[in-house]
Structure formats: structure tokens, C-alpha cells
Amino acid sequence: METLEFQSEARQLLQLMIHSIYSNKDTFLRELVSNASDALDKLRLESFRDKDMDVDVDDLHIVIESDPAARTLTVRDNGIGMTREDVVRLIGTIAKSGTAEFLKQLKEQQQSSSDLIGQFGIGFYSSFMVADKVTLVTRHPHAGGVRWESTGESTYTIEDVEDAPQGTSVTLHLKPSDDEDKLPDYTEPAKIREIVKRYSDFITWPVRLGGEDINSRKALWARPASEVSEEEYAEFYRHISHDWNAPLETIRMQAEGAFEYQALLFLPAQAPLDLFMRDSRRGVQLYVKRVFIMDDCAELMPEYLRFVKGVVDAADLSLNVSREILQQDRQIQLMRRRLVKKVLSSIKSLQSSRPDDYAKLWGEVGAALKEGLLSDVDNRTAILDICSFASTHSETELTTLASYISRMKEGQEHIYYMTGDSRTAVEHSPHMEALRAKGYEVLILTDPIDEMWVDAVPSYEEKLFQSVAKGQVDLETEEEKSAAAEKASEFADLLTWMGSALAEDVKEVRLSTRLTTSPACVVGDDHDITPTLEKMYKAMGQELPKIKRILELNPSHPLVEGLHKAFAGGERESLADTAELIYGMALLAEGGELADPSRFVKLVADRVQRTF
């Protein structure tokens, strides 16, 4: 026998379970039955793939046994079982990268454990809500038996055992029942039946109590919609997603003809905790003729829809199908296209018929959805249709692109936008001045993904996207253009000289039509990457060649007028510092970084000193 310590994150999670104030402790049994069901699925699948595996799959089942005298409850399956290494890896250590983030959120938000445990998926650890000690005995077909035991404190014991039956049994040494603590007597058969019926009725394997099957075993996706209640859908969603919230929307599909399949998909009310983690779960469960094939079938759902959970049951695939075969299978590709269109159209329906629910969904998963603008060209228009953005039209309400276009000024040909780190940074940017003054609406894009999709998507409804921080923004009347041309001619020598003086940093100096109150701003050419995107690349360790941008001057600003007057008067040498100061101020105004902050501070100090 070995005594081992839990991983620190597992230890913290166990303490949450032991001291949980969650009122509905019944769900521990749902988690144990769900784990047992997964073990049976995996054994049947492995028996198809490994013909040499010596296992009995004739009567796969789950048994629940209670002993009121000993105060124990046992959940036993004859599924795949675990090796000694599996037990240490799966129970002694929480492998999911989301655990640390889960605990961090719990601490930062000071929420009760019940608010966040569901996002993580508590699984086996939920046993410690109702038990003082848990004993697990398991045997994998290719290994000997293993016995694991713990009181949920800092350590557990593990030892090899002989003659362990195929599968896994989990025995809970129950805490005393306590009505005040909402802890019922879980050895009561009536209570066990009630929990299984409520949470696990749809499990495809028989769940037995006292020799009697106590679950209906009817696949929800195969039953007529009229016979399935919202609560049954909700429990099935919780079973497959490990989310304790009910789904925001349920989507059913049935395809008949040459290639038949059924699908039951769910949109979440809350984003999965691992939505933006590198090893996040994605895809839906794949069944063939009601036989479980694999979890997280990525070939059926693109990565940008990884928040969609559910099952797809195909009638015409092989039970031995592999991921490599799925990647090439024409039927799978056809299913994927139809599933994606159905999900997008369902979100579109939410947008029009249940705007509050749509807004909730968009707030949770909108950033992931926008990834599809880069990866799913075929559905780009459908994705743009369901996108919402902050804009200068409202400080609180988001807008769709269709609504933006409906408010465009007469003759306006572009959808104006600006990317940035935050709404405040965008709203205070010098680039916004002329558009604000002339009453043009500007989309405010602050998600990191916005920096990338705007360069890949040229237009929407024949209206071109135009960054207010790139290229030339044409807002002028013919009279204003004529006056600007005269000014450009008047300032030509100064602009040429400044271009030379700042040649290390800028590609061009020109007069601006986008400024009304600031002296200068820095803009990119139409195809330059933005400073924010440049920072993102550098943060990922990718060094880029230096990107020179364009310095625009506001000819009506007193500082620029004074510079022009001094230049015309023959001054040159002292004006070089002024030109550098103006460029530095323009960089800072857009949230950029100075190449030499100490030199800039010295120039400012020298200039201020001369005013005394």
C-alpha cells in the first residue's frame, strides 16, 4: 500500500466539496452514474477495436447498492476500469488546465462554490459532499485490480488487490443524514430511485437497484419532441456538458434519405470555463446506431462553435470509425455543413425572437463566434448577420451591422470602425475627432480577434469596412477638398522637411482631414497591421520588421500653425526637437509606446523650462 498526496489544486477542490454549502447534494449520484456510463461506453468501443481483449460485454450495466446498517452506498459498473496509473492520474491529479482558473475565479469573485463548480464539472469529487470516506476498487482488462481510498483530506492510499471484478465500484461511507443541512438519507431506495429518474433516466445502460432496472434507457434524440420535457433536455445537457445550468436553447435535427442521422444540440447560458484555453474540449458526441463512438468529435463542429454541446447519432457509419477516417468521410463533411448552418440559423432566430437571450449568448461566446469570420468563409455572411458590436451610436446597447447600415448617412459608402484595447481608448483617440464632429457612427472593436477579422472581411451588404485609423478617410465636401488642397500646397515644404527629420520613424508626413482638436495623429496605410496587433505578435514571441506609419498634422491647430510660421521664418535646427515632440505626442495619444521615453521626457522638460 502507498500513501500519496493529492495535487494542490485537487486538494483545494476537495475542500470545496467537503465544506460545500450547495443545497442540492443529490447531484453526486448523477456524477457517479455518469462516470459509470462513460466506462461502459468505452469498454464496448474498445471491444470493437481490440478483438483480443478478453472481456464480457453481454450484460453491461450499472448497479447501485445501499447498506443502511453500515451507512454505505455503492455504485458499481462492469465497464473499462482503470489501471493503477490511471487512478493516480485521474483522481489524485486534476489534469484539466481549467482547474487553476476555476479556483482563481472562485477567490476573485468571492462566490459560493455552487456558482462555479458547475462550470468546471465536479465529477468524482462530488462524492465528498455526502461521504466521510470514499473507497474505489477497479480493474482494467489489461491490468490487475487496484483499491483507492481517501477521507478527502491531503492524502489517499492506493494498493493492488487480487480478484477485483471487471469495471469499477465506488463505495461512499455516508455522513449521517441531516435535515437542517439538507442531507437526506441516501441509503433509502425511494430516494435513490427519485435521483436516478430525475437525472439519469436517459442513460443508455441499465441502472439496477435490487435487481430491477430503474431508468427508462430511452435516447432523448430518438423520442418525439412532444414526449420530451424541458427538464429532461436540461438534465441531458448537464450530463454531457458537466454544466449545472440549464441550456439557453435546444436544437433538434433529423435527416432522412440516403444518409440518415439525428442530432440534439444545445447552446449554453454560460460560456464553458475552458472556452479560450488551448486544450479546451470541442465538438459533440458521436453515436452510430445508438452506440457511443467518441466524445468531442471535432470533425462534426468547427472550433469557433466549440461551445455547442450535444450528440449526433448517425445510421450509416462503421462502429470502427476512427478520427482519421472521419476527417476524410464525405458524409461527415456533409453533416458538419448542415449542423453549422442549423446552429447559425438558430442563433439568428434567437436574435429576432428572443433578443434578451441572444444578448446573453453573445456576451458569453461572441468572441469565439467571430473566429469563424476567419476560418469559415462559406458561412461568413451568416456569421456577420448574427454579430453584435459596440458603437458610438449608444454607450450601452450593441448594434448589428444591418442596424448600422440603416442609420448610415446619405451617400456614405463605408462602415467605419476602430480597433483598440478598450472603449475608452477608442473614444478618446484623435482618429475619431472628425467623424464625431460630422456625426458618423463608428464601430468600437475591442476583442483581440477583431484585430484579425477586419483585415480578412472586406465588406457587408456591399458596404466596405474602413478603419478610421488607416488610409485616407474621405469625409469632406468638394469645397472642403478644395480648401484642403490649398493648405497642402501652403504646407508642402514643411511636410517635406518633417518627413526627412522623422525618416527613422515615419514613411510620410501629411495634412489630416480626420483631426479637429488634436495637433497630430499617427495612421497606417490600408494594409498595415495595427499597433495592437503588432503588440500581440510580440507578446507571442514573434518579432516583426519595423513598421513605419504616417504622421498627419492638423493645420488648424495653434501648435502646428506656430510650427509652420517658425519654419517659414527660416528656423530649422530648433524645430527638429519640436517635430519629434509632436510625433511622440501623437504616439502617446493613440496608446502607443515611445522608442526612447527618457529622451522624450528630456525634450518636454527643456521646452517647459523655456516658458519660465
Q: Is 347 annotated as a binding residue?
A: no
Q: Is 82 annotated as a binding residue?
A: yes
419-432: b or e for each residue (b if 16 or more CB lie within 10 Å)? bbeeeebbbebbbb
Q: Is 455 annotated as a binding residue?
A: no
Q: Is 35 annotated as a binding residue?
A: yes
Place of cell 467623424: 435
Q: Is 121 annotated as a binding residue?
A: yes
- Which cell goes with 279? 486544450
Q: Is 80 annotated as a binding residue?
A: no
DSSP 3-state assignment of 215?
coil
What's the per-residue H, E or C state across 474-499?
CCCCHHHHHHHHHHHHHCHHHHHHHH
97: closest CA among 298, 365, 277?
Answer: 277
Report how far apart, in Å, the C-alpha atoms of 64 and of each of 87, 172, 173, 208 are: 21, 11, 14, 6
Q: Is 602 annotated as a binding residue?
A: no
Q: Is 323 annotated as a binding residue?
A: yes
DSSP 3-state assignment of 167?
strand
512: closest CA among 567, 437, 462, 595?
Answer: 437
Q: Is 574 annotated as a binding residue?
A: no
Residues 453 and 370: beta-carbon distance below 8 Å: yes
Q: Is 119 annotated as a binding residue?
A: yes
Give me the sign of the Cα torsion angle 9, 21, 128, 115: negative
3-state helix, strand, coil in the chain (%, to 5): 45, 20, 35
Instruction: Give the residues across from 5 on adjacent strands.
Output: 155
- Which cell goes with 444? 468600437
Give Rg (Cα) of the chain. Answer: 32
Cα distance from N-terminal residue to C-terminal residue, the chain: 83
Q: Is 77 annotated as a binding residue?
A: yes
Q: Is 83 annotated as a binding residue?
A: no
152-166: b or e for each residue (b if 16 or more CB lie within 10 Å)? beeebebeeeeebeb
Question: Which residues define the annotated binding site for ATP?
Answer: 31, 35, 77, 82, 96-98, 119-124, 168, 323
Question: Which residues define the annotated binding site?
Answer: 31, 35, 77, 82, 96-98, 119-124, 168, 323
